[in-house]
Amino acid sequence: DYKVFEELGKGGFATVYKATRKIDNLEVACKMIDRKKIQKTSLQHRMQTRGTMHERLKSEIEIHSRLKHPHIVD
């Protein structure tokens, strides 16, 4: 469980928040995918960019999975 504080930044489909892990008060950055941003686009636009958005998300997940640091939550 985490306690979320302030927004640190936004990207194309996610927002990063400053948070602390409740169990040990470790300060972390928590990235949350914003479903509303993804759903807001028109059906036609989604059909045209589905592959692009999927590839961007997949690439970002792969990059994040390789990051190893005490302050990065798995």
- Could you list the residues known to form a binding site for ATP, using ranges: 31
Residue 24 contacts residue 11 (beta carbons within 8 Å): no
CA distances from 69 to 17, 25, 28, 37 (A): 18, 16, 11, 29
Sequence ranges of the binding site: 31
